[in-house]
């Protein structure tokens, strides 16, 4: 695919994501060590312009911190950029059943995007705890002050 065609495809994809923002979801699980109480869970879902997010720690999801608000344009764009990264392959993802089991430290990001009346999904998984730039920007922008944003900044 030529550079011009790739730009056109990305523009169409971004427009489609923006128009069908209902149900776009990203779930992050970070396992920094073998201690089950150290697991960090972060989830966000955009239903139109309404954002629902939660941050919790530990396998028992101790001290969950739910957040609900109406997204601003920066938050919308951060979610669109992250999902576009998955859909274009800039952030590699696969079927979760095809991925190997990792030993801590590692992280997984499950994503779900409504697109043209269908559902696209996948899992990004990596050894270590550093997020790709688009995901780092997403958590810092959408969940500032949370443990999720602190992870993204480290």
Note whether 146 and 42 are within 8 A (CB).
yes
- For the residues 4-26, what does the mean pLDDT come to? 48
The pLDDT tens digits for 82-139 are 999 999 999 999 988 898 999 999 999 999 998 888 899 999 999 999 999 999 999 9
CATH number, position 57: 3.30.1560
Decide: helix, strand or coil at residue 116.
coil
The Cα–Cα gap between 110 and 94 comes to: 10
Residue 31 is part of which domain span?
3-153
**pLDDT surpasses 70 at 17:** no
The pLDDT tens digits for 24-52 are 999 999 999 999 888 999 999 998 889 99
User: Which of 33, 29, 36, 42 minimizes the C-alpha distance to 105?
Assistant: 33
Decide: helix, strand or coil at residue 136.
helix
Q: Structurally, how many domains does the chain consist of?
A: 1
Evaluate if pTM is beyond 0.85: no
């Amino acid at each position: 695919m030529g550079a011009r065609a790739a730009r056109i495809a990305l523009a169409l994809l971004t427009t489609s994501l923006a128009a069908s923002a209902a149900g776009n979801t990203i779930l992050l699980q970070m396992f920094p060590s073998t201690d089950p109480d150290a697991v960090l869970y972060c989830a966000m879902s955009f239903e139109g312009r309404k954002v629902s997010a939660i941050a919790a720690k530990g396998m028992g999801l101790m001290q969950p911190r739910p957040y609900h608000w109406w997204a601003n344009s920066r938050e919308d764009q951060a979610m669109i950029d992250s999902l576009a990264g998955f859909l274009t392959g800039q952030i590699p993802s696969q079927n979760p059943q095809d991925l190997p089991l990792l030993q801590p430290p590692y992280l997984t990001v499950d994503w779900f995007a409504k697109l043209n009346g269908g559902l696209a999904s996948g899992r990004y998984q990596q050894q270590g705890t550093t997020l790709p730039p688009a995901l780092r920007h997403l958590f810092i922008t959408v969940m500032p002050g949370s443990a999720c944003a602190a992870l993204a900044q480290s």
